[in-house]
Amino acid sequence: MNEALIKNYESTFMEKVAVIHAAFDETPHTIAMVEVDKKLTDEEKCEVAFMKTNTIDGAWWENEEVTPMFPEKSCRSTSSGDFVLIGNAKYKCVTAGWEKV
C-alpha cells in the first residue's frame, strides 16, 4: 500500500528532468534523470538538477532523487556548457544561470 501511495505522490507532485553532459564531451549524452517538484519554475528545476548532479559531500549519483544513466563507475559533475531537458524545453548551463536553447 505504501508503495502505491509513493508512486501516486511522485506522479502528482514530481517530474523527472534529464541532465545532458556536453561541455567536455565529443557527443552529448544523458547522464541522469533527476526528480524535481512540478511547482518549481523551469529555472528552479534546472538549479535543482544542477545541485543534485554535483559532488559536494559525496558522489552525486548516490542522491535519492537521481537515477544515474552513465555506464562508467563514476561521472563528472554538471558544469557550464551542459544541458537540462524539461519536457521539450532545453536549457544550457551558462556562467550565471540558464539559457533556453
Instruction: Provide the Cα torsion 49, 52, 53, 59; round to 10°.
Output: -170
In this prediction, residue 6 carries a pLDDT of 59
Could you tell me if residue 1 is inside a domain? no
28 contact partners, CB below 8 Å, separation of at least 6 = 20, 21, 22, 83
- What is the tally of structural domains in the chain? 1
Sheet containing strand 14-21, strands side by side: 66-68, 29-37, 14-21, 83-86, 89-94, 97-100
pLDDT at 88 over 60: yes
Give me the domain span that covers residue 71.
Answer: 14-100
Could you tell me if residue 21 is inside a domain? yes
pLDDT at 1 over 60: no
Percent of the chain whose predicted confidence (pLDDT) is above 70: 90
d(CA 23, CA 83): 9
Taking Cα atoms as reference points, which of 86, 68, 84 lies closest to residue 14?
A: 86
Could you tell me if residue 2 is inside a domain? no
Could you tell me if residue 38 is inside a domain? yes
Could you tell me if residue 3 is inside a domain? no
pLDDT at 5 over 90: no
In this prediction, residue 13 carries a pLDDT of 87
Could you tell me if residue 27 is inside a domain? yes
Could you tell me if residue 71 is inside a domain? yes
Could you tell me if residue 75 is inside a domain? yes
